Structure 1
Amino acid sequence: MAQRVRDIMTSQLVTVEPQASVSAVARKMRDENVGAVLVTEGEELRGLVSDRDLVVRALAEGGDPEQKTVAAACSSDLVTVTPDEDLDHAVALMRERAVRRLPVVEDGRAVGIVSLGDMAIERDAESALGDISAAKSNR
């Protein structure tokens, strides 16, 4: 069983700039088959935006999604972990802060992301969440 964040994190990051339009980010999520992307400026992590964030913070407010930027929809008060942190600590942070994804940061830059689904697959692959998270996408 993996013991460190680096053992289960996704290191192929999908990122967008804060100025990207909500529509562009939604298309990128669809094309990359992900539910969240990191918002970066250069190599600096500025936020995280999930598909739910796009709906609740941008689309539900109205306006043109081609004109709205992702900066207004992303979570900027991020909880992060390092690759060498213990998985139990990452789980505790997710529970404490009620988040489903944690950006993984090393030397000030994003190097990965770990999700609730990643944890479920690692800790209890036979659970409903582990089973769903491991299933092939229906897209």
Structure 2
Amino acid sequence: MGLESVMTTDVVTVDLDDTVLEVAAVFRERDVGSAVVLNAADEVCGIVTDRDLVVFGQEFVETLERTVVNQILSPVVFTATPDTDTHELARMMRDEGVRRVPVLEEGELRGIVTLDDLVVQLAEDLDNLAALIRAEPPNRVIVD
């Protein structure tokens, strides 16, 4: 199964030169904990998380109004495409140790998939499998 059914298409983005305070305001306004970071050409160059703001932002506590995202972002390790298989993406996320993956199509940002998105999909798949099992009891052969 591809990512189109699980990805979020209303991706929150910030610019590479936005300040930490501006990013925090976006997080609060949009009620999110991460954003995809775009450069001046609107290319994906990283992800910034609420954890980045807290952990790495402390280093810049005296200059938060001048500290830009570029100083604290998590650089993108990899991206996916809409036709990437969800199970393959889950393996890649595990191997890379990431929880969020931007989805690009021909270089354009189309969405984002989070670990939570994949867990929800897996739970739905398991529910469907359980329903099938309950609906069709196994054939039993009685041997004398």
Q: When the two structures are superposed, what TM-score results if normalisation uses the length of structure 2?
A: 0.80
Alpha-carbon offset, residue 75 of structure 1: 1.3
Once the two structures are superposed, residues 18-74 of structure 1 have per-residue CA deviations (whole angstroms, 9 ceiling, x without a partner) of 110001101101110111101112321111101111111112453221110011111
- Residue 63 of structure 1 is matched in structure 2 by 62
- Residue 95 of structure 1 is matched in structure 2 by 94
Which has the larger Rg?
2
**Secondary structure class of the residue paired with 2:62:** coil
1:8-87 correspondence to structure 2 within 5 Å: 8-41=6-39, 42-87=41-86
User: Residues 5 and 114 of structure 1 are in contact (CA less than 8 Å); yes or no, is this contact kept in structure 2?
Assistant: yes
Q: Is there any run of 5+ residues in structure 2 with no aligned partner, and where?
A: 125-144
**Secondary structure class of the residue paired with 1:62:** helix
Which structure carries more helix by proportion? 2
User: Residues 38 and 46 of structure 2 are in contact (CA less than 8 Å); yes or no, is this contact kept in structure 1?
Assistant: yes
User: Residues 102 and 115 of structure 1 are in contact (CA less than 8 Å); yes or no, is this contact kept in structure 2?
Assistant: yes
Once the two structures are superposed, residues 78-106 of structure 1 have per-residue CA deviations (whole angstroms, 9 ceiling, x without a partner) of 22111110001110011001111111111
Q: Identify which range, 72-81 or 25-34, moves more after superposition.
A: 72-81
* 2: CA distance, partners of 1:97 / 1:52: 18
* 2: CA distance, partners of 1:54 / 1:109: 26
Equivalent AA in structure 2 for residue 104 of structure 1: V
Task: Please give the root-mean-square deviation of Cα atoms over the aligned residues, in Å.
Answer: 1.6
* 2: CA distance, partners of 1:39 / 1:108: 14
**Secondary structure class of the residue paired with 2:75:** coil
User: Residues 19 and 69 of structure 1 are in contact (CA less than 8 Å); yes or no, is this contact kept in structure 2?
Assistant: yes
Equivalent AA in structure 1 for residue 116 of structure 2: G
Percent identity, aligned pairs only, is: 35
Q: Is there any run of 5+ residues in structure 1 with no aligned partner, and where?
A: 126-139
Q: Identify which range, 19-28 or 36-45, moves more after superposition.
A: 36-45
